[in-house]
Structure 1
Amino acid sequence: MLKKFLSYFNIIKYFNCNTVSGKVAISCLMAMEGIIVWLSGMFTCVFVFHGDIDNYLTHQLLIMLVSLSLIGLFYISNLYDFNSTADAIEKDKKMVGILRSTTLIFFVVMLCSFNVSAFSQQWLLVWGIVTVIALCVERASIYYFLKLLAVNGHLIRQIVIFGVNGFTGEFMDAVQNDKSPWVKVTGLFDDRLGRTPATVNGSPVVGNIDELVRYVRDNRCYEVFVILPLDARARIEEISMKLKLLPVPVRLIPSVSMSSYVNNKVEYFNGIPTLEILNKPLSDWEYLIKFAEDRLLGLFFCVLLLPVYLLISIMIKIDSPGPVFFKQKRYGYNNRLIEVYKFRSMYVNQADIDAKKLVTRDDPRVTRLGAFLRRSSLDEIPQFFNVLKGEMSIVGPRPHALSASAEGKLYEVAVAGYAERHKVKPGVTGWAQVNGWRGETDTEEKILKRVEYDIDYIKNWSLFLDFFIIFRTVFVVLNQKNAY
């Protein structure tokens, strides 16, 4: 039963704060520790002093204030990230941090109180001791529970490594040990296969950089670590260009400073400093906000447009024989194939399932009703169902058909780094579309501009930008320019 539960929720996500489940888990931990602080205060009031203290209501207000303040201080102090949560009891400095934070809160509250004598100093002392003990027991319980799950194979943080050299084995020893059973190196990769050993610490070297990209796309992977000499700047940049297509964090393990990465984030992974050379888009709370936006707006638009769905379905059936919906394979998040829904706008016997030939003005393959649907973009509105399925977003780079081409070249051939636009979910509307790059892409310039705007959207995402694009989309659709 436990195994089924863990596999369903994929508990490893709880330690990736960039995911929805990770945010939920951290929020639950914060709420639980706030309740622990509150219950400690109530326990000392009721059971230790039997409620026999003056200004009982004032003490209750103080309990609530300290509970909220303490959790806020813990959050600011980064005690709710993965490493801090897992190692809080193992590392003395985290324990000292908890004690120091708790003592500081009590001390500040007492000094700032208008009437210090209004509070029982004995009660404050006992409450502080009980709170620290309770938090220590809670953190230790979480740590050992997670460690037990990891040892039994239920909690695995899978990472892959690129670069096989003298430091690779040392790094693997550091991250794969009894103190970190949830870390597992699942793949070793290097471009110089002829000069590298077949195995490192018993793990085989399985391929080059291209095979690493395929591996991450086909398997669940938490992070990619690049272990290369820091003077190999050209090689690092070449590797970065290929790895930037992946929607996972990529970290470089540095030994000396590099000027080109001077402003990049440095983090410690099991005591080893790593430099983040590429960041995951929509990190931290942005992912949760985007998730909520898609689900809520997707449901809203599906319900709002239900009469339109019914009317268009009837009109399609009257206009020409065939199904109401047209389903087409397209590239989605992380270059994975998804099936995108559209209202059928072509005659069934002339439909181009792979989009090998772009639709042009007055295209004879398009039905009379289909021409109107395409001009008004109403053929795209079934994609709100893709949003509810979690395959698409309301706003994002538009998904392209597998065989779509410009001037005889596939998009991924015509545009270097084309797949970088797949680092986020495709959208029903997008930044490129509201800036005039909508419709036929018969030239390389048009697809280049589309991709340029798509990448710009990914790098500068904000909730305001999404709502601005949604607002602009209404006027772009009404203009009906470049759509046929």
Structure 2
Amino acid sequence: MLLIADGVLLNMCFAVAALLWEGRWWEPRSMLAAQATMPIFYTIALYNGSYGVTALRDWLYASRKVVVALVISAALINFLGFYTKSNEDFSRAAVTLGLLFTAISLVMLRRVVAEFIQRHWGGRVSNCMVINDGGASFIFDGAETISAEEYNLDPGSRDPFMLDRLGKLLRNQDQVVVSCPRERREGWAFLLKSAGVYGEIVSEPAHSLGAVGVHRYDSLDRTTLVVSTGPLGLRARILKRSFDVAVAGSALLVLSPLLILVAILIKVEDRGPVLFIQRRLGRGNQFFNMFKFRSMLEDKLDHAGSRSAAREDDRITRIGHIIRRTSIDELPQIINVLKGDMSIVGPRPHALGSQANNKYFWDIDREYWQRHCLKPGLTGLAQVRGHRGATEHEKDLTDRLQSDLEYIAGWSLRRDIGIVLRTVLVLKHNNAF
């Protein structure tokens, strides 16, 4: 919301400056200067911490950062204008007034936001949780404290229902601290990494936990090891979500005639439901309902996903054969993307009953849970590499898992765009049946 408010203020301030100096509201030259300044301002502000947690805690810090971002962006625009000889296209007085009004407005906004946070949340700008699993006492002011025993949380368990329960508890938490006995710390470190949250464990040698930092709480006389930070920072999350919404929204608009046609054909064939809704594992190992076009007979639907589709599968309808071979059956997941359950690109979500070599996926490789630290995707690196279809052998799962972990470790918007383009080439594939 602060991002949007800053953009509105910048435009309004330039419009007011144009009215005062030029005598014309929303004067084109002044507004062109505002529009040229905005993308550079946002880029600098996102990089220099203007929208970080520290900026929410300290309005003076936030004011300094946002004014520096505005000054640098104005300087860059002026530099570009000088070399392109376009400075004369702008009114220097109107632009200077616009920048001055914007700087004052941005500082005032930070002060108002700080007052609002103090009044409504007691100055707390992040959600913190302490999980007590029988370790040393850890009383963290402003944090919610829960008992692992009360919620039946076991770091050594591979039960997906327990992981879903933990995922829901950790949802929207900015910081999670676990206090537990020595023998349970490695298990908790793994769970926090899999959940994709910023996680700390109270005092333990760094090597075995894969710690990435140390945090000292002087008031508590306690030290924690930071064992997970989440795979993406704020800027990356904003970019990825913006990309998801833009692509999914456009796809829904462009593909709506096809979606309506397929829905009609499915309904006409056997009068059954158009959509197949199946519970899948998503971000933070939480369950969500994934949408697909129904491609199987209604009385033979496999909601648990315990049986992979075969080449001559008697459960698949006539229209089902067509939409599965062309991946059209996956298109309703565009709705999941818009809802925020999924991304356009990410590890593909699996059904609870999915198996390879008669073993559940998480029994084959414990790192399986770590693929869920990001939202699942409509497509992914594993899929464009050809790792699709039935999982008859353990290698079918491990190949996908390694691609998923590689994708998470090296995420970039450019890679997402590349995977989407490559997906177009493999929509129809031999392993789809």
Q: Name the CA distance, whole Å, in 1 between partners of 2:323 and 2:6.
A: 49
Q: Name the CA distance, whole Å, in 1 between partners of 2:218 and 2:43.
A: 26
2:83 corresponds to: none
SS at match of 2:403: helix
1:379-408, Cα deviation, whole Å (9 max, x unpaired): 112221222222222111112222222222
1:88-128, Cα deviation, whole Å (9 max, x unpaired): 45xxxx59978x979x99xx9xxx9xxxxxxxxxxxxxxxx
2:432 corresponds to: 483
- Counterpart selection for 2:145 from 182, 187, 190: 187
SS at match of 1:157: coil
Identity of aligned residues (%): 28
Asked whether the 8 Å contact 1:188–1:207 carries over to 2, the reply is no
Instruction: State the AA in 2 paired with 1:81.
Output: G
Larger Cα-atom Rg: 1
- Counterpart selection for 1:246 from 181, 192, 195: 195
The Cα shift of 1:333 comes to: 2.3
Q: Name the CA distance, whole Å, in 2 between partners of 1:186 and 1:143.
A: 22
Q: Say whether residues 1:218 and 2:169 are aligned partners.
A: yes
Change (3 A) 1:140 1:375: closer
- Counterpart selection for 2:255 from 258, 281, 305: 305
Give the paired residue count. 395
Instruction: State the AA in 2 paired with 1:214.
Output: R
- Counterpart selection for 2:232 from 257, 276, 282: 282
The Cα shift of 1:287 comes to: 0.9
The Cα shift of 1:143 comes to: 2.8
Asked whether the 8 Å contact 2:282–2:341 carries over to 1, the reply is yes
Change (3 A) 1:270 1:459: farther
Change (3 A) 1:246 1:261: closer
SS at match of 1:339: strand
Unaligned runs of 5+ in 1: 1-23, 47-63, 113-129, 177-183, 194-204
After the TM superposition, which of the residue ranges 68-77 and 322-331 deviates more from structure 2?
Answer: 68-77
TM-score (norm 2): 0.71
Change (3 A) 1:77 1:366: closer
Change (3 A) 1:76 1:364: closer
The Cα shift of 1:280 comes to: 1.1
The Cα shift of 1:429 comes to: 1.3
Q: Name the CA distance, whole Å, in 1 between partners of 2:318 and 2:3.
A: 54
Q: Name the CA distance, whole Å, in 2 between partners of 1:278 and 1:439.
A: 32
The Cα shift of 1:166 comes to: 5.8
Change (3 A) 1:148 1:397: same
The Cα shift of 1:83 comes to: 2.5
Change (3 A) 1:144 1:482: same
SS at match of 1:417: helix
Change (3 A) 1:349 1:269: same
1:10 corresponds to: none
- Counterpart selection for 1:392 from 333, 342, 346: 342
- Counterpart selection for 2:127 from 152, 158, 163: 158
1:25 corresponds to: 2
The Cα shift of 1:324 comes to: 2.5
1:202-246, Cα deviation, whole Å (9 max, x unpaired): xxx9776547983452354524444679xx6x8654431122121
2:54 corresponds to: 83
The Cα shift of 1:314 comes to: 3.3
Q: Name the CA distance, whole Å, in 2 between partners of 1:254 and 1:282.
A: 25
The Cα shift of 1:446 comes to: 0.8
